[in-house]
Copies of this chain bind each other. A is one copy, B any other.
């Protein structure tokens, strides 16, 4: 890569003059300007933005980073929408890190390289070490959709959500229940299913329960799994006699809804999230308001940017809500 010195040498001028041309060419003789422009073209010169920033002391950015597992999942997309609703008004840019490709290697060095004003960590198992690393580098951050004792966090009570789902399904007399989740076994999923099973135990219900986990290829758009869930539902109803379903998330439950239309048996389905489309589909689900979580997260982070570094950890637990439809 050519530098300002290469250009200066080739053009037979000083780097100061080249620098003036980079800035637009004020106070440079037209012939000199032309000559320098030509050399720049010939060498395919691009000024180094990093160096420009250093000397200009452009150190603070108005950019918020977000660490999110999978934007193709509608729930996370809605969270982002909520976040951006706040950021746009506050005049911040949004930097979305790609965490798909990090087999083994850590993303945190990359995060620290990007001069961010703050970071939102969404649905990500941030370790204590990683949290300390961020703090050590004075990057304010906030964890969403996950409870962490060692960080500011805003989350929804997943166990409670699972209980609500169980409560709903048990209000109908069912024969066999299936829990449908992802083979990734996220913490959120474990908690929801745990809450579900706890409720059965507490109420001494001895219903046969099946657990099925769909293996997720992160390279495929998440919508693909709606189809997989559809087929799985059909199979479980016809071959296993399942008549109650609790899906880890609405997008999987949509597959269940599609299957239900083709079956003459009466089956009950509960999803999780309450995405915008769920109301149109008449899906009974556990509501966790994605956009509001995003907005709340972003505005809280904005507040943290102004605050003292040593503010005690904020732990905000939101309650999910059962939405019965159809």
For the complex, is A92 an interface residue (Cβ under 8 Å from B)?
yes
Q: Which residues of B contact A51 (CB under 8 A)?
A: 54
Q: Which residues of B contact A1 (CB under 8 A)?
A: 59
CB pair A49 B112 closer than 8 Å: yes
Q: Which residues of B contact A93 (CB under 8 A)?
A: 95-98
Q: Which residues of B contact A276 (CB under 8 A)?
A: 277
CB pair B59 A48 closer than 8 Å: yes
For the complex, is A50 an interface residue (Cβ under 8 Å from B)?
yes
CB pair B96 A91 closer than 8 Å: no
Q: Which of A82-113 contact B (CB under 8 A)?
A: 84-85, 87-89, 91-98, 100-101, 112-113
Q: Which of A42-94 contact B (CB under 8 A)?
A: 44, 46-54, 58-59, 62-63, 71-72, 77, 80-81, 84-85, 87-89, 91-94
CB distance from A5 to the nearest CB of B (A): 15
Knowing A77-B77, A98-B91, say if A71 contacts B54 (CB, 8 Å): no
CB pair A96 B113 closer than 8 Å: no
| Residue from the list B48, B96, B100, B277 in contact with A280, Cβ < 8 A | B277
For the complex, is A204 an interface residue (Cβ under 8 Å from B)?
no
For the complex, is A221 an interface residue (Cβ under 8 Å from B)?
yes
The 7 A-B pairs at the shortest CB distance, nearest first, are namely A280-B280, A94-B96, A91-B101, A88-B100, A50-B53, A46-B138, A50-B54
CB pair A59 B50 closer than 8 Å: yes
CB distance from A220 to the nearest CB of B (A): 9
Give the complex CA separation of A94 and B115 in angstroms. 15
The copy count of this chain in the complex is 2
| Number of interface residues, chain A, beta carbon within 8 A | 49
Give the complex CA separation of A274 and B58 in angstroms. 43
| Residue from the list B46, B77, B219 in contact with A81, Cβ < 8 A | B77
| Residue from the list B49, B84, B94 in contact with A113, Cβ < 8 A | B49
For the complex, is A137 an interface residue (Cβ under 8 Å from B)?
yes
Give the complex CA separation of A81 and B75 in angstroms. 12
Q: Which residues of B contact A80 (CB under 8 A)?
A: 71, 77
CB pair B50 A72 closer than 8 Å: no
CB distance from A81 to the nearest CB of B (A): 6
Knowing A277-B277, A281-B280, say if A95 contacts B98 (CB, 8 Å): no
CB distance from A285 to the nearest CB of B (A): 15
Q: Which of A218-259 contact B (CB under 8 A)?
A: 218-219, 221
Knowing A50-B58, A93-B98, A113-B53, say if A81 contacts B88 (CB, 8 Å): no
Q: Which residues of B contact A95 (CB under 8 A)?
A: 63, 93-96
CB distance from A195 to the nearest CB of B (A): 29
Give the complex CA separation of A88 and B53 in angstroms. 28
Please name 8 pairs of A and B residues whose Cβ atoms are closer than 8 Å in the assembled complex, sorted by A. A44-B138, A50-B50, A52-B113, A72-B85, A89-B100, A91-B101, A95-B95, A280-B280
CB distance from A139 to the nearest CB of B (A): 9
Taken residue by residue from 18 to 42, chain A's Cβ proximity to chain B (1 for < 8 Å, 0 otherwise) reads as 0000000000000000000000000
Give the complex CA separation of A137 and B21 in angstroms. 12
Most buried by B among A97, A114, A218: A114
